[in-house]
Amino acid sequence: MKLFLSEKDIQKRVSGLAREISKDFAGRELLLIGVLKGAFIFMADLTRELSLPVKTDFVRLASYGSGTQSSGKVEITKDVETSIRGKDVLVVEDIIDTGITLKYLTKRLKARKPRSLKVVALLDKPSRRKVDFQADYLGFEVEDHFVVGYGLDCDEAYRNLPGIYLL
């Protein structure tokens, strides 16, 4: 494995994202919806950095199985439990790869009529995109490498690494 992003680099960028999001949603309550399992560490750090009232919920979508390539099919294994109607919603994702999962999720969430719906992603692999999708807030771009650490895994391993590594 080769270090791609250090813990310090990640924390600096998470703080910057939190400042931007806090400014954009100033005076409003924000519902964060974390995409499990990969985004849980990013979401925890981001939540602590936000300077506005937040509530949290989670959704779990599977598209990888145990491999390193997306299957292209999205399966919901845990849905959002909170009503999002009329709320400002921020989906928190670890990485945008093909875009299929987030496009599916945002379409599904928009049907529930939130006041607003935005996406923050820690990482983006634009070279892998199969559908048109852009995050509203983005941490870092990464080339077409498989990355692990800071919540990202390979067959459930490496999530606990404090930095992000190229596998």
Angle among Cα 130, 137, 78 to the nearest 5 degrees reads 65
As a whole number of angstroms, the distance between CA 16 and CA 87 comes to 23
Instruction: Specify the amino acid at residue 23.
Output: K
Q: Are 57 and 31 in contact (CB under 8 A)?
A: yes
Q: Is 97 a catalytic residue?
A: yes
Catalytic residue among 88, 97, 124, 153: 97
Please check whether residue 104 is in contact with residue 75, taking contact to mean a CB–CB distance below 8 angstroms. Answer: no
User: Is the separation of the CB atoms in 7 and 162 below 8 Å?
Assistant: yes
Q: How many residues does the chain have?
A: 167
What amino acid positions are annotated as catalytic residues? Answer: 97
